[in-house]
Structure 1
């Protein structure tokens, strides 16, 4: 990436290395965001056993309980972040969601756990949109998709860490210890965020690069526009709706599959809780990192030729993901067909499934860098946090609240016909959301150039 310096609101020149440090800290916070968000997936079996929950009820814990306030509060918090310190807001958010995650470990029933998960959602509402805005003010336009893709590494890191740490701690000390452990970790990181990360100029990297050896120029930021002004500019743009609904459709399947895949491995592949923790964390980490970086790199390359390349990358990726998911989920049948003489082919099936699952796990995360970068360019710099929050509102309200509940509800609905394999068939039905996402993003590739703001 470029070594161009950036000027802070105080007029001081930030060294290039500090820019990468900030990106690393924000990525760590995002990892904790997903760790606390996704840990409940690996804890499905012990939680259902403890409280006697159906798949639908567990889907509410993972989806609606978290997403209800997470999505709605993100808008007013983003409005504040466009006017006040983004770092202070993120520090308070990290402290809040980590504290509620720890409290999940001391609950006495479904209702209390539901309320604590709502608290996690309240905290995490202030974690993502301000980060998008900060990164856009630290990195120039040509590098933002890659920088946001690096930030999005927090998703596979967090998902893998939540699965591995949560599963291993729960298998050894119980599910309560797992919640408390990851919650306390976030409380330790909050002071580091507050004391070492500074707010850069809003829109500073959208201006011409400073002349070498030139004296720092005092910068007076433009006043943040009203929420109504953001809506007036953003909502009439078809690209916003196509990007947001396309990402949301993908997230219905993405969040849903991520939350229920540990249960699928235990039910259909016969893995233990600890085995699932190692197995799925490896898939989430390797596949996720590869897919996110590939998406950011490819989108930045295509974006130089045409802005429509940004949404086109994930659109193609989703089309490839569907058959890969279906093949991976049926690895046992494939191995039995190819090796009929082998009486015990479980390890071959697990190996084949692992390798194939890496492909769609990576492909279904390629949208993060390209689409978040695209949303940043639908509005001027002073509107970016609010625009990001509106995008996330649609994406998460549908993706988290609907996605995680959908797979649990469909599993209960199909149980009379398919028994313990009902979750497998539930996931099959969800693949249609990837096809819808692809169609919407192909549409966005045709309108984005017209709606782009330089």
Structure 2
């Protein structure tokens, strides 16, 4: 293969992951906008912190986790591009519907609908990226895709706060939701499906969607792969506090420092954007380089980052000035975000190509069930429970005790690091990559 052909394939793969990143950004804009709108929603609908936690996490997680595996089963057999495009359309429409609700339960069910749509966006994207990049570049590619988390969350906070401040929270949902529809069209019209398993030494049947195994067969395979469960548990515990922070930090800045919605949007939006982007990129870059010599680095890098994040975030919670709190939270966010690229790359390494969408959905099931379903609600519950003792500082202590999730995550990742070095990985060391052109105007 000529050098120019390889370079063309690399540029095409990067362009493909850029389109998926844009979709992921809108995924998290729609997912996290509710955090900065929590205070006006609470006032308008007369909710308490437990209800906010249910609506912000449990409602989303219920249908996200229950529909992700069936959708992933379909993605291992049909066009992943089409599934992603349809999913973007659904979550965008349900986000817009959140702006029309009149009660807690109407908002709860609208958020469930957002979860239904987003269930088809992430796992198929993971599998798609694994077929765009060879093993030695997957952690960096997954990290690039994972930038959708901090960028989308920050934009949700920025625009949600700005629109709510100038119009109202209902308009914020409607405008942000409808803005995602052109992205669905972009994915459908420009992204081309790459060959499955094109960089792997998997059997030839792995390249045939019709030969894809059932959910039970994949689950049986995963049962024999303890590193998968430890990676998933570590990511889930990390997400429990990370999602909890994403949802509750706007309220923390408002209650602790008396900031208005505009200032809250600026403070926490920049924490997510600066800390999240730097942490995810650094984690992916370091993970790729260390994993060349030691596969366990896919778990060791996240463990070190989270261990350092614990004291940093604890100090940020009790900083005397909002600027010092902002600096500490930004650094803590950077350390706590380093796991995204290495962990998702590690998941793709330990299963063959025809199992990746289902394996990713099982991973996301665990991550979101614990992360979104438990983390946001637990912090809200503890805040209400400790209000009598700590009064206005109840949310601070709730988040402080929530750092136990990071401790559990560190333990799980350290155990996974030992096992990963002994797992069989699916890669192709000798075959030359064929260029893929992810952009195509043809119908898929």
Coarse TM-score class (shorter-chain normalised): over 0.9
Conserved? CA contact 1:289–1:362, under 8 Å? yes
Which residue matches 1:202? 196
Q: Deviations over 1:392-443 (max 9, x none)?
A: 1001100000001011000000011111211111001100110110011000
- Which secondary structure does the structure 2 equivalent of 1:230 belong to? helix
- Which secondary structure does the structure 1 equivalent of 2:102 belong to? coil
Which residue matches 1:151? 145
Cα distance change of structure 1 residues 98 and 432 upon mapping to structure 2, 3 Å threshold: same
Q: Deviations over 1:350-375 (max 9, x none)?
A: 22222211111111111110011111
Q: Deviations over 1:120-171 (max 9, x none)?
A: 0000000000000110000011000000000000001101000000011001
Conserved? CA contact 2:317–2:400, under 8 Å? no
Does residue 1:371 correspond to 2:343, yes or no? yes
Does residue 1:403 correspond to 2:339, yes or no? no
Conserved? CA contact 1:222–1:382, under 8 Å? no
Whole-angstrom CA distance in 1 between matches of 2:182 and 2:170 = 19
Q: Offset at 1:231?
A: 1.2
Conserved? CA contact 1:105–1:177, under 8 Å? yes
Q: Deviations over 1:51-96 (max 9, x none)?
A: 1111000000011100001011100000000000001000110000
Whole-angstrom CA distance in 2 between matches of 1:20 and 1:446 = 32
Q: Offset at 1:188?
A: 1.7
Q: Offset at 1:331?
A: 1.6
Which residue matches 1:233? 221
Whole-angstrom CA distance in 1 between matches of 2:37 and 2:248 = 10
Runs of at least 5 residues in structure 1 that lack an aligned partner in the other structure: 7-12, 209-218, 333-348
Structure 2 counterparts to residues 235-314 of structure 1, below 5 A: 235-314=223-302
Q: 2:32 aligns with which of 30, 34, 38?
A: 38
Cα distance change of structure 1 residues 21 and 101 upon mapping to structure 2, 3 Å threshold: same
Which residue matches 1:345? none
Q: 2:396 aligns with which of 424, 427, 452?
A: 424
Whole-angstrom CA distance in 2 between matches of 1:235 and 1:173 = 51
Runs of at least 5 residues in structure 2 that lack an aligned partner in the other structure: 427-444
Query: How many pairs does the alignment contain?
Result: 421
Q: 2:411 aligns with which of 436, 439, 451?
A: 439
Whole-angstrom CA distance in 2 between matches of 1:5 and 1:406 = 52
Q: Offset at 1:207?
A: 5.4
Q: Larger radius of gyration, structure 1 or 2?
A: 1
TM-score (norm 2): 0.92
Whole-angstrom CA distance in 2 between matches of 1:199 and 1:3 = 23
Conserved? CA contact 1:283–1:354, under 8 Å? yes
Q: Offset at 1:222?
A: 7.0
Cα distance change of structure 1 residues 451 and 131 upon mapping to structure 2, 3 Å threshold: same
Q: Once superposed, what is the RMSD of the aligned Cα atoms?
A: 1.7
